[in-house]
Amino acid sequence: MHVAPRVRPGADRFGLRLRAATAAAAGGLAVTVALSLGTFFAVRSTLIAQQADLAERQALANARLVQQELLDPEVVVGDVLTQLRVAPGARALLLYDGRWFGSSIGTDEASIPPPLLAQLDTGASARQWYVDAEGGHLAVGIVLPAVAARYVELSDVDNLERTLGALRTALAAGTLIATLGGAGIGWWSAGRALRPLRRVADAATALARGGLSTRLTPEPDPDLARLVRSFNEMADAVETRIEREARFASDTSHELRTPLTALTAAADVVARRRDDLPERAQVALDVLVRQLDRFRRLVLDLLEISRLDTGTADRHLERADLAELTRRAATATGFGGLEVRCEPPTGDFRTAVDRRHVDRVLVNLLENAERHGGGPVAITVERSGTDVAVHVDDAGPGVPPELRERIFERFARGPGSGDVPGTGLGLSLAAAHAAVLGGTVRVADAPSGGARFSLVLPRREIR
């Protein structure tokens, strides 16, 4: 029992290379985000600690200076604060003799966060980070018991915020670069990893197209060596089997020719005395002659297929006008009165072909149209890009899409063939002859409603 392989849902939406690149990008993103967050918080903690330590040392130094100045009974308190050295943007406040003094206009008790004031009222020094309408600040309060005073220094932390902002931007840019770099490395690595698989795919395609001698070169990589070995063994088995079947068909056809020749000769002898036979014997003789003729054509077709399969068919390329070859084939099959149209009308339809192979294909297509399609209704020679094609349109019902590959198989017969005479090898022979020339035979819907069989050949010069 054949079991269809399970396919993961969505696995065919994205290629393996894209998925590998995405995984590498996601991994790079996760690692860099983790490192960036760790770096940011570590640096932030260090900078905050350094800022607090610097502010405390500066405030303590200024507090000692203020206390020393206040021991002088004649000192002017406002002058003491203005003479202090504070950091840019910092402000100093002093609670002395029940009054608050500030180092700048607008700096008063309201500038100090209430929790810090409450802590100072207990007689203990303190510090506090806070944010107001002007931004972030660090407040350091120191108790001066010798002069019954409270000293508070307010420091701006804008520089710290700018530094942390620049660090965030740098880490975000680094994360983006690392993610893109991971995606690029994943894409490149996946491409290198898939390169041997592309070689296998190309070799399999060549093998499927008839290149039975296609093989993969040995790989030093132990992981790939098994794949290469398995493919080559499969190719050997396929080639051996096809050659064996081709030899069998060829040998069988050759063996049939001798008795067939004898039967045909005997039938010819009897046919010459046909009028002397009874009526029933004449009918039997006519059936025998028709079937022997069909048998003879079948054997000849099998021999021809054998030569094509084994690669022993001759091929003599010469530059020829495909439009002229088409007119001759139409005349030879009794359709010389049917116009052969050229698209474009003044186009050059010359290419390197073997006249015999082309003639065999065209005759088979025309005879197929006559037997199974109500006769050809249009013959067109068309040049497009690097190809030149001959289209034969018939008046039949057409070929359903699901049968358009099967009808080129040997002994295949299209719908409605019924008792139409034929061996079932005509289209397969046409396809084989076209393949010898590097071309193909295709079928599609004709503009007139029937079937369109096309011989497509590459335009090339003789080398």
My answer on whether 306 and 322 are in the same domain is no
Q: Which of 106-120, 214-228, 336-350 has the highest mean predicted lDDT (pLDDT)?
A: 336-350
My answer on whether 26 and 146 are in the same domain is yes
Domain end: 135, 163, 191, which one? 163
Whole-number Å distance between alpha carbons of 109 and 121: 13
- Buried b or exposed e, range 352-387, using 16+ CB within 10 angstroms: bbbeebbbbbbbbbbbbbbbbbebbbbbbbbbeeee
Q: What is the pLDDT of residue 376?
A: 92
Mean pLDDT, the chain, as a whole number?
82
pLDDT at 8 over 80: no
Q: Is residue 174 part of a domain?
A: no
Tokens at 376, concatenated: 């050809």
Domain end: 273, 294, 310, which one? 310
Q: What is the pLDDT of residue 416?
A: 55
Please give the residue range of the domain that contains residue 252.
244-310
Q: What is the pLDDT of residue 419?
A: 54
Across the strands, what pairs with 102?
Answer: 93
* DSSP 8-state class, residue 412: -
Question: pLDDT: is 256 or 64 the higher one?
Answer: 64
pLDDT band at 247 (very low <50, low <70, confident <90, very high): confident
pLDDT tens digit string along 192-223? 877 777 888 888 888 877 677 888 888 787 87
pTM of the predicted structure, to 2 decimals: 0.50
What dihedral angle (degrees, nearest 10) is formed by the CA atoms of 265, 269, 270, 276? 170
400-413: average pLDDT: 82
My answer on whether 34 and 156 are in the same domain is yes
My answer on whether 51 and 139 are in the same domain is yes
Mean pLDDT lowest among 107-121, 369-383, 418-432, 438-452: 418-432
pLDDT band at 421 (very low <50, low <70, confident <90, very high): low
Q: Is residue 2 part of a domain?
A: no
Q: What is the pLDDT of residue 154?
A: 86
- Number of domains composing the chain: 3
- The radius of gyration of the chain from alpha carbons, rounded to an integer in Å, stands at 48
My answer on whether 389 and 290 are in the same domain is no
First-to-final CA distance of the chain: 51
My answer on whether 259 and 388 are in the same domain is no
pLDDT tens digit string along 282-328? 888 888 888 887 777 777 766 766 666 666 566 788 889 999 999 99
My answer on whether 337 and 299 are in the same domain is no
Whole-number Å distance between alpha carbons of 199 and 192: 12
Q: Is residue 181 part of a domain?
A: no
Beta strands in 299-412 (DSSP E): 318-321, 340-343, 350-353, 376-384, 387-394
pLDDT band at 378 (very low <50, low <70, confident <90, very high): very high
pLDDT at 1 over 50: no
Whole-number Å distance between alpha carbons of 254 and 111: 114
